[in-house]
Amino acid sequence: MQAMANELVGAAHAENLLGVGEHRRNFQRLSRLFDEGAVELSKAREVVDMMDLAYGREGLFESRRRELSKQLAAQNALFRIRSNASLINNLSGSFAGNAERILSAERDKTTSAIGFAKIVILATGVGAVLIALASAMFVARYVTANITSISNAMMRLAQGDRATRLPQKLAANDEIGILQRSFRVFRANALRLDRMNQRLNRQNALFERVFLNITDGVAITDPEGRLTAVNPSFSKTLRLDPSLNPVGAEIQVVLRSSILAENKSNWRFDESFAGFSEIHGDNGLVIEIRRNALPEGGGVWLFSDATERRQVQDRLRQIQHIEGLGKVAGEVAHDFGNILSSIASNVHLVEQSRTNAQTDTYFYRMRNALEIGTSLVQRLLAFAKKQALMPEVIDLNELIAGLIDLIEVSLKDGVALETQPGVGPNYVLADPGQLESAILNLCLNADQSIKSAGRIRVSIRRPDKSTTVVSVTDTGSGMDKATQLRAFEPFFSTRSGENGTGLGLAMVYGFMKQSGGDAAICSKCGIGTKVSLSFPTAQVASETPREIASGQTALLVEDDPDTMRQTASCLENEGFSVTPASTLEGAMTHLDKIEHLDLLVTDLNLDDGKTGWPLVKQCEDKFADCQIIVVSGRLPERFFDGCEQLKARTVALVEKPFSQEKLESALQGRRCGACA
């Protein structure tokens, strides 16, 4: 037991795990001896206690093992700490050495960099100073040069040199740029002012030329009625003494001193006078006086010698009266001629059936009456100037321009004439004399519809390429619907008590229809009337020389021998070999026999009431390249009835009487009409 106790004590004081293990093995050996019975039973209790003290989780051996293990772990940890600390110390020393070397190198670099930076800063400072000096010198030169240039340019511009200008540079948005732009604006304003002055000078020169050269007398008065300026025609128009200067005298005194006044006591030509008046002198002299007030007081006076115009107006009134009588005579002669034709037919029947001497006496009397009536009709037709139209290509702008003076002198006082020509030449095919008469007639009708003052406008326009329209518009009394419907009727007139014949618009309508055009009226009561004359637009003949159709064949179909000879002669002059035919059947038979044809010329109205359209259709079907011309002396409104079955081609239409010029126009494609 003592040995076991010693092992326990030894284990408690062992310094290492080996010693504790050794004491434990010895204790276990002694314990086996106890188990074998070598120990007395009286001491077994103590042995068990020692066993309990030695073994178990809280036993001496286990506790000591844990204690020594912890001490060993602590020693190991302390060793590792010391080893790591040494390593750290070594590393720290190495790092410190490296850091010192790096710091030394960086310090050397920094010292070099600082030295270089000092040099750079010094160089930069010197460069900045140089740049500042250069900039200052450049700015000084830029500002000074530009200000000097602008100042010199302004001085030259102020002295009148408008050609001066600054160099064309891109102006900056600085003060110099603002000065340059200001100079350009000032120069532009100066040039504009010069142009305005030049225009004003031209206007003043034009006014002065008009004032000095106008044939009417012009005078300007101040608010007191005294003459401040007169033109050279003033004294001439008023028949004053040319050696006397009327400037400064009162206008009324000057007028009373003229030799034109018949009743001077009725004159009130002072500053209260406004508008229009006239004075009459000896030998039919008529002076028209107009005055317009000036804004600042006084007025402008216009004195016009209207003697010649009044004489022309009187003459025109006489001509209009005679023309009215002539038109009435012409219409009466036409109707009377129809009556004579009926009488002649019956006289012929009586002559064929007379049986005795008494009948011969009646026949002789009727024959004498017919001869007298025929002679009377011929004289009436000659008086009415019933002549065939002679159309030609005319420019409506030129025709209207030539009519302005005649229309103006035909209008009553207070009626103004305006003209609106068309754009470019406006060519139509018409009789110029009859067209002038028609337009003059419309203007006179418009003048009569205006009661006091008003306006008449003659305008030309082209609504499309194929139509040209002449319009006469007035501000007269206008017409109601019923009057418009009957306006073109012969002998219809709303001026029953004013020498109206009712033939004016009827003559215009008939002329337009005969010329291939139309006439239309648009009117409103109290507003005015517009009469429009529509013409087919004519094409001007080309100046290129026309080739003669040498060796080409033509078929001429005409039932009148004289017309056939004339037309054949025209075709032969164009180089055609002409084959004549006087009947429709003969012409169609000839077409069946021939193999080639270049031109067909046929009358529209042939024998026995037949038309030429079947012949045209046959020629078109057989000869696709044959040119076709249809001739007629009558162009009714339904002229193209009968040609609906033709193919999509053009047929030239020529109105009789046939002429060389019309043939040339048709051959060159200029047609009076066409069906396609």
Helical (H) or strand (E) element with 365: helix 357-384
Token representation of residue 583: 């009947």
Rg of the chain (C-alpha set): 65
Q: Which pLDDT tens digit goes with each residue over 455-465? A: 999 999 998 88
Is residue 420's pLDDT more than 70? Answer: yes
263: left (phi over 0), alpha (psi -120 to 50) or beta: beta
Q: Which pLDDT tens digit goes with each residue over 551-580? A: 789 999 988 787 788 788 888 888 889 999
Token representation of residue 232: 């050279």
Select from 423, 425, 359 the least CA-distant residue to 394.
425
Is residue 379's pLDDT more than 70? Answer: no
Q: What is the pLDDT of residue 669?
A: 60
Domain 392-536 superfamily per CATH: Histidine kinase-like ATPase, C-terminal domain (3.30.565.10)
Question: Would you kindly state where each structural domain of the chain is located, as residue ranges?
Answer: 2-55, 214-305, 309-384, 392-536, 552-667
Q: What is the pLDDT of residue 396?
A: 92
Is residue 192's pLDDT more than 60? Answer: yes
Same fold? 214-305, 392-536: no
Token representation of residue 393: 């290509």
Higher-confidence position of 320 and 179: 179
Q: Which pLDDT tens digit goes with each residue over 394-404? A: 999 999 998 88
Nearest-angstrom CA–CA distance, 6 and 14: 12
Is residue 168's pLDDT more than 70? Answer: no
Assign 648 a pLDDT band (cuts: 50, 70, 90).
very low
Nearest-angstrom CA–CA distance, 676 and 666: 15
What are the phi and psi torsion angles at 462 (to 5°)? -125, 95
Q: What is the pLDDT of residue 636?
A: 44
Assign 36 a pLDDT band (cuts: 50, 70, 90).
low
Nearest-angstrom CA–CA distance, 441 and 299: 38
Is residue 410's pLDDT more than 90? Answer: no
Q: What is the pLDDT of residue 470?
A: 95
Half-sphere exposure of 256 (CA within 13 A, CB side): 12
Mean pLDDT of 483-507: 68
% of the chain surpassing 70 pLDDT: 75
Higher-confidence position of 166 and 523: 523
* Mean pLDDT, all residues of the chain: 77
Q: Which pLDDT tens digit goes with each residue over 221-276? A: 888 888 888 888 888 888 888 788 888 888 878 877 776 655 554 556 666 777 78
Look up residue 37 and give its amino acid: G
Write the DSSP string, 9-47.
HHHHH-SSHHHHHHHHHHHHHHHHHHHTT-S-GGGHHHH
Region of poorest pLDDT, from 413-417, 591-595, 646-650: 646-650
Q: Which pLDDT tens digit goes with each residue over 605-629? A: 777 667 888 888 888 888 888 888 8
DSSP strand pairing (286-293 vs 275-280)? antiparallel
Look up residue 592 and give its amino acid: D
Q: The whole model's pTM is what?
A: 0.32
Nearest-angstrom CA–CA distance, 11 and 20: 5
Q: What is the pLDDT of residue 17?
A: 76
Is residue 529's pLDDT more than 90? Answer: yes
Going by C-beta distance under 8 Å and a sequence separation of 6 or more, which residues neighbour residue 287?
Answer: 237, 238, 260, 278, 279, 280, 281, 303, 304, 305, 306
Is residue 476's pLDDT more than 80? Answer: yes
Tell me if 333 sits within 8 A of 377, measured CB to CB.
yes
Mean pLDDT of 116-121: 88
For the 552-667 domain, the top CATH level (class) is alpha beta
Q: Which fold has domain 214-305?
A: Beta-Lactamase (3.30.450)
Greatest Cα pair distance in the chain: 223
Q: What is the pLDDT of residue 327?
A: 63
Q: Which fold has domain 309-384?
A: Helix Hairpins (1.10.287)
CB-CB neighbours of 41 under 10 Å: 8
Q: What is the pLDDT of residue 324?
A: 61
Q: What is the pLDDT of residue 454?
A: 92
Mean pLDDT of 657-673: 66
